[in-house]
Amino acid sequence: MKAAAPSLTGLTTIVKASVKDQTLEQLKQYILSGGLRPGERLPSERALSEALGVGRYSVREALKVLEAVGLVESRVGEGTFLTANTGASFGRILGLSLATWGGTIMEILEARVMIEAESARAAAQHANPEQLSRIEQELRCMQANMHCAPTYLAADMNFHRRIGEASQNAIISQFVCNLIDLLEVTLRETHSDSLPAQAEGGSTHQAIYTAIARGDFRAASDLMRQHIQFSSEVWQTVISLTAEGQSPTKPDSGE
């Protein structure tokens, strides 16, 4: 009689992380280890890629996420530096409930990927001139207020609402508005309404608008998906930093 196969209880599927994700984790740990002082320049992309055994593209993409959450800053012609005020930037984040960040924010972003990519596709197919004008108006407001977080955030949220309206589908429009309303309230309540401007700038919004305006529904959908997925990566990094309960630098005793 054939013996029964041993139980596999307790084993879980091994998740294969992407090279970029592994690169991001390594760089995050490198910064958190305290090897760099605030304001100090990171090694070059080439040096980092050689040390990690990955391509420079993976390093560059990982640094973008770290810059978006305020850990590093890129200076044209100079390199990438550890931000001088990292401790202050994360002081409010580290005190938040992980449940709030890991649940509400991520679930909103996951839902946005599903809904807003199709919203952008529909807008590219059906938007009328007046609706395109409204989307562009919010885009220009964002671009003019990159350093005024509350105004930028309001225009950013309205940009997405206007795309929902331009889908010419009342149900989609309502779903988008509900998601954006929830996201906007959450960002304001957690005092993190400066992160969208740092994380996204205006270039991705501009690309989405351009695709919609020219009726390129495939590009509009893809660009919106990439836009929100990048936001998700930013928040996932914030979540992991929050879970570790520490910041790269300790505030001065006088603060």
Higher pLDDT pick, 35 / 141: 141
At 98 the pLDDT is: 34
Token output for 195: 């992160």
Split at pLDDT 50, 70, 90, the class of 116 is very high
Task: Measure Cα distances from 192 to 54, 156, 199 in Å.
Answer: 32, 14, 11
pLDDT at 147 over 60: yes
Mean pLDDT, residues 4-26: 66
Domain with CATH 1.20.120.530 in the chain: 97-242
Percent of the chain surpassing pLDDT 90: 29
- From the CA atom positions of the chain, what is the Rg in Å? 21
Q: Looking at domain 97-242, does it have CATH number 3.30.9.10?
A: no
Contact 126, 166 (CB under 8 A): yes
Domain with CATH 1.10.10.10 in the chain: 19-84
**pLDDT tens, 180-238?**
887 776 666 555 555 545 555 557 899 999 999 999 999 999 999 998 888 777 766 76
Contacts of 107 (CB under 8 A, 6+ apart): none
In this structure, which CATH number among 2.60.40.10, 3.20.20.80, 1.10.10.10, 1.20.120.1200 belongs to the domain 19-84?
1.10.10.10
- b/e 54-75 (16+ beta carbons within 10 angstroms → b): beeebbbbbbbbbbbbbbbbee
Query: pTM for this structure?
Result: 0.59
